[in-house]
Structure 1
Amino acid sequence: MHFLAYILVYPLLYVISILPFRMLYAVSDGLYILIYRVFGYRKKVVKSNLNLVFPEKSDAEIKRITKVFYHHLCDMILESIKSLTISENEMRKRFTFTNVELIQNIESQGKSIILMCAHYGSWEWIFILQTYIKSRGNAVYKPLANKYFDRLVKRIRAKYNSYLIATKEIIPTLIQEKREGVISINGFVSDQSPKLNKAFHWNEFMGVNVPVHTGAEMLAKKLDMAVVFFGVKKVKRGYYETTFKTITLTPKDYEDYQITDIFLKLVEEQIREAPEYYLWTHKRWKHKDKAPKQDV
């Protein structure tokens, strides 16, 4: 069944991917009508999240943010499909970096990097960073259930010397690379909610006490990697601008969870600046009432 689904869906994805951007966004507009107005995909989750973290905002403002968010979500879906065939030059034009020399300078020191980000703006085209640097690129991800689509996604990323590493494989992979002297840049989307049985740290995120992923910090300390945050600004439709910020070059100098807390604050700053570009469909605050008493 997985192969059948692949051979039926892939041709459609390919046709969409070769559309000019003007037509691609026309498809996105149609998808918005289906997802937001017809099916109301996770609309209750989105509004619940927004009302929770922005109690000061009016219903009209929450509605405006919700609509813009769904338009952006549909754009991201179509831009992800566009990754199948988009050229390197086109992607470099649409996903730019204000200070890529920060990454290049760390790389020149022979130091690997933990690159932390959130589900904000666009993270789909960050792989174009590999065309500016020499380091191997790894990104932590959850493998797709359909192995054929999983291979497709991996193949797309590999075009720019980037490799998707399953969560359970990332620790042995990075340890092995460290032994072999491989300099790498490793992407972690670290704002999602961990399982309760793996929640070692709680802190306020957007004013709400929640469990926080700490794996990126743990690996940075274990393998002495620099930690860099990247924030994304949506300049206009189909165009993004990324800025890097060094959290630390010496992670072992920080107390446990301090790096993670700095990351959370940086994520909050970009959300509060333009909340419509955060991924509100995630149930990020689902464990908000379950913190152990000693951590509250």
Structure 2
Amino acid sequence: MFFVKLLSYLPSWCLYPFAEAGAFLGYHILRYRKEVILNNISAAFPEKSDTEVKKIARQFYRHFCQVFIEMILAYSYTKKDWQKRMPITNPQDLLKYLDNGVPAILMSGHVANWEWPAFSFGRQLEYTVEFLHKPVDKKGFEKIMHQLRTRHGGIPIPKDDALREIVKRRKQPRIIGIIGDQLPAKGTEKQWLNFLNQETAFYVGAERIAKLTQYVVFYADIKRNGLGKYEATLKEIAKPPYRKEFTGVIEKYAACLEESIQRNPSDYLWSHKRWKYTKAQEEAALSGNT
């Protein structure tokens, strides 16, 4: 970790060439998940030619590597750096709730720089950010990621304990960060939606938390404006009181996320096996008809 900290004080122009090198290696030499990436982009944008799909893929590799460099650079950032590198265009829309003692759920996706909101929002808004977190198996990498993510005051909440931990501090004004576009495991509660031209499963945890706590829900629309420069716009997608049976949180979140991806497709995390199974395949597997 000392090495990462040392690197963070270097000027960005010293580190971004490593992202370029990593992108070249990943796409041309190592072919890191290349088939998954190309298939995901093709399925999401069936109207695009093979040439266009490959162009998006190459741009994705470059951006993917830049995000890792930016995580290192962020270690030494101050509040002023965040205001310059990832300003929030409309903080007042969220602060009007927080300042009146109302906690908020802030949903986002793996778009643009998906790590920086957890790093920067707490510093800029001066409220605690607690974010749902699923530990990875590689202990060394997990330790580094934990230190980077908590460096600026973020508090990770293990996903399996999320509901219990959130309820403990139910009335404490703070931000609950949820990246809601991971693939749910088979057999878990989920909602199926038409997303990017495909039948797609979404976790429903954010909706369950919203109904239980009666928190307002925002979507963080992260837009990349240049190398190491982003901006965040907060979109209110649901507020209490909620109906017992339905809030619409997941549908509205998915619609906002799709709009963000369509604006600049190469900014999405295409390397994940997001569409690993269909609803019919899950039902068949659970019924034993595989």
**TM-score, normalized by the shorter chain, greater than 0.5:** yes
Say whether 1:143 aligns with 2:135.
yes
Deviation at residue 251 of structure 1 after TM alignment: 5.5
What is the distance in 2 between the residues matched to 1:60 and 1:155?
40
| One-letter amino acid of the structure 2 residue matched with residue 119 of structure 1 | H
1:113-144 per-position Cα deviation (integer Å, ceiling 9, x unaligned)? 11111110112211211123243210011124
Say whether 1:29 aligns with 2:26.
no
Tell me the residue number matched to 1:211: 201
The alignment partner of 2:281 has SS state of: coil
Q: Which blocks of at least 5 consecutive residues in structure 1 are unaligned?
A: 1-9
2:97 to 91, 106, 109: 106
For these two proteins, the number of residue pairs brought into alignment is 282
What is the distance in 1 between the residues matched to 2:124 and 2:73?
21
1:213-240 per-position Cα deviation (integer Å, ceiling 9, x unaligned)? 1001110110111100011110011100
Q: CA RMSD in A?
A: 2.0
Say whether 1:287 aligns with 2:285.
no
Deviation at residue 155 of structure 1 after TM alignment: 3.8
| One-letter amino acid of the structure 2 residue matched with residue 222 of structure 1 | L
Note closer, same or farther for the CA distance 1:49–1:146 as it changes in structure 2 (3 Å cut). closer
- Structure 1, 108-117 or 232-241: larger mean CA deviation: 108-117
Tell me the residue number matched to 1:7: none
Kept in 1: contact 2:112–2:268 (CA 8 A): yes
The alignment partner of 2:130 has SS state of: strand
What is the distance in 1 between the residues matched to 2:222 and 2:239?
21
Deviation at residue 107 of structure 1 after TM alignment: 0.8
The alignment partner of 2:87 has SS state of: strand
What is the distance in 2 between the residues matched to 1:29 and 1:16?
17
The alignment partner of 1:145 has SS state of: coil
The alignment partner of 1:84 has SS state of: helix
1:42-78 per-position Cα deviation (integer Å, ceiling 9, x unaligned)? 1100000011111110111111111111110010011
1:83-112 per-position Cα deviation (integer Å, ceiling 9, x unaligned)? 333333223211111111111111123111
| One-letter amino acid of the structure 2 residue matched with residue 240 of structure 1 | Y
2:267 to 268, 271, 277: 277
Note closer, same or farther for the CA distance 1:136–1:90 as it changes in structure 2 (3 Å cut). closer
Kept in 1: contact 2:211–2:247 (CA 8 A): no
What is the distance in 1 between the residues matched to 2:266 and 2:159?
28
Deviation at residue 21 of structure 1 after TM alignment: 0.6
Kept in 1: contact 2:22–2:65 (CA 8 A): yes
The alignment partner of 2:222 has SS state of: strand
Say whether 1:78 aligns with 2:69.
yes
What is the distance in 1 between the residues matched to 2:2 and 2:25?
21
The alignment partner of 2:254 has SS state of: helix
What is the distance in 2 between the residues matched to 1:82 and 1:230?
22
- Identity among equivalent positions (%) equals 28
Say whether 1:266 aligns with 2:256.
yes
1:142-179 per-position Cα deviation (integer Å, ceiling 9, x unaligned)? 1243556545444444443320111112111111101x
| One-letter amino acid of the structure 1 residue matched with residue 32 of structure 2 | Y
Tell me the residue number matched to 1:243: 233
| One-letter amino acid of the structure 1 residue matched with residue 251 of structure 2 | D
Note closer, same or farther for the CA distance 1:11–1:136 as it changes in structure 2 (3 Å cut). closer
TM-score for both structures, normalised by structure 2: 0.90
- Structure 1, 36-45 or 151-160: larger mean CA deviation: 151-160
TM-score for both structures, normalised by structure 1: 0.89
Tell me the residue number matched to 1:196: 186
| One-letter amino acid of the structure 1 residue matched with residue 75 of structure 2 | L
What is the distance in 1 between the residues matched to 2:80 and 2:86?
10
What is the distance in 2 between the residues matched to 1:11 and 1:32?
25
